[in-house]
A and B are shown apart, each in its own frame.
Chain A
Amino acid sequence: MDRTLDMSVSTNELKAKIIESLRLQDVTPEQIEDDAPLFGTGLGLDSIDALELVVMLEKHYGIVIKDIEEGRPAFRSVRTLAEFIEAKQAPK
């Protein structure tokens, strides 16, 4: 797991991880807007992609999502996902 010194999640790195884990073709991190919807419209991801992102979160950020409903609001956009990861990684 990479953690930057100021504990904020690099959205660029997150976008790269999304592209890599979902094997999106002909899409670069620069083309994904921070606030664009990930599901439905925007990138047009579907239910399997959501499950794949759950796996990616555990593999790259060490975050375990037991219930897919917990992840739903987090998956709305890259920004909400980055905030979700930061919150989960923050020292208690």
Chain B
Amino acid sequence: MHDVNHAADRNARVSAIPEIVIAGCGAITAVGDGVEALRTAMRTGRSGLRKCERYSDTRFQSSIAGVALQNGEYDDPAYELASRALAEACGQAQAVLTSVAPERIGFVLATTKANIEALERISDERKCSEEGRRHLQGDLLAADLAVEYRAKGPKQCVSNACVSGLIAIQQGARLIQRGEADAVLVAGVDHLSAFVMAGFSSLKALDPVGCRPFDRDRAGLSPGEAGAAIVLTKKIFFQSNHPTIQSPIFLQGWGNSNDANHITGPSRDGSGLAAAIRAALTSAKVKLEEIDYINAHGTGTPFNDAMESAALRTVFGDSCPPVSGSKGMLGHTLGAAGVVETILCVLAIRERWLPGTPGLNVPAELAPGSLMRESRPANRINHVLKMNTGFGGVNGALVLGYE
């Protein structure tokens, strides 16, 4: 096989790689419906975690969870959550989306369990609609949501444990950058379920009093449910449809890695996450000192938070920027986490407001010195680092901000 030199073509393509901006956001979470509810909770530090009657069975370590679907019983909660978030995000991005042909709008869904509610119903021989059953399969859930929201371009369902959300955002950007789409709807969803509650309980991974990220006495996580959506598009599309908005928020870079250590436990030294963070900063061409805020994964389990603290120390040394974790507000929303927590970062940037860490009382000894318990205003939030880690050793990091 002879050498084919494509260097010239490749160089041309690299310099023509479109910049990706965020054109719209939508969310339904434990603190309420809509991004505005998220914004308010970010400022007040309110937690959406509650004791849930339906999980008060003594078999479970804890009944504390973040409930987003308050009224009524749903047999297709995954679709409901994702659809509501998409409605809001597409509404915000309407100008861009109506200027793009549907065949050029892609769709990427992030979910760990899709509509697992259907499996519970079928197993118990309870009623389940055809749609509910269909949406047990993540790819079909993605396909149907794409139809509802007029995305006829490439469709994907990403399932990479708790990093699914960040990876779905990256996939959205990649689809645009390699020319397969001009805009992408990225949605993340997971709903609360006995399936997940029982699972984390069997791993003794739930905190009986509710998650306390980075706390000295932390004892585990609290599950949450959410639907979250972000519309991504090319900078030129955004600008031509929003000529008065000078500063959109850019997706500037990302990195992924695997710890290759243990199927549920992260590596103790955080080297895998550190590598993902460094890759994100390098690809974003953003220096360490240019990061103004870090939104951590911060599940509240002893191992995760220790590992993240180690990773941050490895990368930032003694100069770690302000850092906080949001799972005490929303719960651990699994597949939705990367998307909803990125939306929180968008809000932080726009508002110049640093979110705090609900649930945190006394920081652990080895937690970063810049860990914030209370939220507070900031003079400048130009670049934010968002990270997540998950079962199977996966790590992901994203850098977003102003140009």
Contacts and interface: CB of A to CB of B under 8 A. Distances in A.
A55 B204 contact: no
Contacts of A47: 262, 264-265
A68 interface: yes
B203 interface: yes
Interface string A48-67: 10010001000000000000
Interface in A12-48: 46-48
Nearest to B262: A46
Contacts of B283: none
Majority SS of interface residues in chain A?
Answer: helix
A51 B263 CA distance: 14
Contact of A55 (B202, B262, B263): B202
Interface in B188-213: 202-204
A51 B262 contact: no
B265 A51 contact: no
Contacts of B203: 48, 51
Majority SS of interface residues in chain B?
Answer: loop
B204 A48 contact: no
Interface residues of B, number: 7
Interface in B234-266: 262-265
A77 to B, nearest CB: 22
A55 B204 CA distance: 11
Contacts of B264: 47-48
Nearest to A46: B262
Interface centre among B203, B204, B263, B264 (most CB of A within 10 A): B204
Contact of A68 (B204, B262, B263, B265): B204
A55 B264 CA distance: 17
Nearest to A48: B264
A46 B265 CA distance: 10
Contacts of A51: 202-204
Contacts of A68: 204
A1 B239 CA distance: 71
A55 B202 CA distance: 8
A74 B311 CA distance: 34
A29 to B, nearest CB: 26
Contacts of B262: 46-47
A52 to B, nearest CB: 9
A75 B163 CA distance: 33
A68 B204 CA distance: 8
Interface of B: 202-204, 262-265
Given A47-B265, A48-B264, A55-B202, 7 more contacts: A46-B262, A47-B262, A47-B264, A48-B203, A51-B203, A51-B204, A68-B204
Query: Which 9 interchain pairs have the tightest Cβ spacing?
Result: A68-B204, A51-B203, A48-B264, A47-B265, A51-B204, A51-B202, A46-B262, A55-B202, A48-B263
8 contacts: A46-B262, A47-B262, A47-B264, A48-B263, A48-B264, A51-B202, A51-B203, A55-B202
